[in-house]
Chain A
Amino acid sequence: MADGMTTERDPATGLERQPVIDEEIRETSHKYDVAGFEELQPRRDYPPYRSSLLRHPTKDLQQVDPEGIELWAPVFGRRDVGELESDLTIQRGGEPIGARIVVTGRVVDGEGRPVRHQLVEVWQANAGGRYIHQRDQHPSPLDPHFTGMGRCLTDAEGRYRFTTIKPGPYPWRNHHNAWRPAHIHFSVFGTDFTQRLVTQMYFPGDPLFALDPIYQSIVDPRARERLVATYDHDLTQHQWATGYRWDIVLTGTHRTPLESDFEEDQS
């Protein structure tokens, strides 16, 4: 087939092809490397992720010191989160299909202090890459035994722990034949509202990383890799589940912490 046959869009779907996205990702990445200025957070203006085009602010963020309420975070407790909500494999009266995994780690603040007794929420696709969400039209089966959402409170050392099923990759319509690497969404609170974080955890060695504009919206390669969990054989349980470890670091606190926030450090 002649090179001239190559077009930027797939004739059937009318969507741009992967090489178009790849080229944009490569170009942005190259410019970032040359600039030599470290960026730890994703770019909100990241054209390869097409949905960001009209949804990022164009004006600089306004610098301001956090005040009052912003220096505190909401408190969650046992009335909010049940003990069993951290096990995503027991919610629907039967065993979900897929590879059972344990995902655990610590939530710490920008100074490395544990974020204690705070809410962690997760959500994900099932083993076939399908979300229970009604707007997910991916023609892969729903699992009657899997909802794909969980919650827990961190313990006194800032640890969270979920038992779940390894999610599958799933297709989306950013471009033709676009597939998201398998991931688990995480929503985390700190001790200040300014530390509020929603992010995604990925699995090691995913072949889709280089092709995915959401993962690549974090232009710094090391910052991206920090979203990838580590396989940990010590967490893996005989005849039961494989284990992944992933720690979450929030930004620094702006409020001088109370003694009681950290008293368990002394033990």
Chain B
Amino acid sequence: MTATPTPIPTAGQTVGPFFHFALTYDGDSELVPRGAPGSVRLHGTVTDGAGEPVPDALLELWQADESGAVVQRAGSLGRDGWTFTGFGRSATDAEGRYSFTTLVPGEAAPFFAIAVFARGLTHRLFTRAYLPGASDALLERLDPARRATLLAAADADGLVFDVRLQGDGETVFLDFGDE
């Protein structure tokens, strides 16, 4: 038997400034329609190392449903208004703000998985937006200031989760052992 050599992963590259016409689409950030029962707004601002908003970032949201179950259903690009797929995208606006309309994932899964892309960011970053009050092994391992960067905060609209790419309050970004 011949051993097959392990293939070497393809390198990432920046998403660049001109992704909007390709990666964003109608309804991309609305995992459920606005105002749907149980819907919540997950939103925040992406800032750089100078504290300036990043107006050309893209956040991807991937999450469990209200029961905490992983959804494996098509329809994230062609939303039908009824099927919860668990996936969405939100490009930041001129003030660095993103916003999703979604459901709160069930207790078994206390976080939203988030991938961050931006012009100037050579390779995507992963993070987690935990529900307020959540606790798990990762959070417990972090010192309080770092931990706070992974916790969404409740506000009048729903949940706020800011992403700071660099500097004071820099968001904890994750390496799943693949970096």
Contacts and interface: CB of A to CB of B under 8 A. Distances in A.
Nearest to A132: B21
A65 B21 CA distance: 34
Q: Which applies to chain A's interface (DSSP): helix, strand, loop or mixed?
A: loop
B4 A112 contact: yes
Interface stretch (B12-20, B36-44, B153-161): B12-20
B81 interface: no
A238 interface: no
A52 B121 contact: yes
A223 B78 contact: no
A145 B74 CA distance: 30
Contacts of A250: 9-10
Interface in B81-96: 85-87
Contacts of A68: 64, 70, 108-109
Interface string B42-61: 00000011101010000010
A61 B9 contact: no
Nearest to B51: A54
Q: Which applies to chain B's interface (DSSP): helix, strand, loop or mixed?
A: loop
B10 A56 contact: no
Contacts of B18: 123, 125, 131, 133, 135-136
A149 B21 contact: yes
A187 B9 CA distance: 14
Interface of A: 40-44, 46, 49, 51-59, 61-66, 68-81, 108, 110-112, 119, 121-123, 125, 131-133, 135-136, 147-149, 151, 185, 187, 193-200, 214-215, 217-218, 223-224, 226-227, 247-252, 254
15 contacts: A41-B12, A49-B122, A55-B166, A56-B166, A57-B125, A69-B70, A74-B85, A79-B78, A110-B6, A111-B6, A199-B11, A199-B12, A200-B13, A214-B122, A248-B10
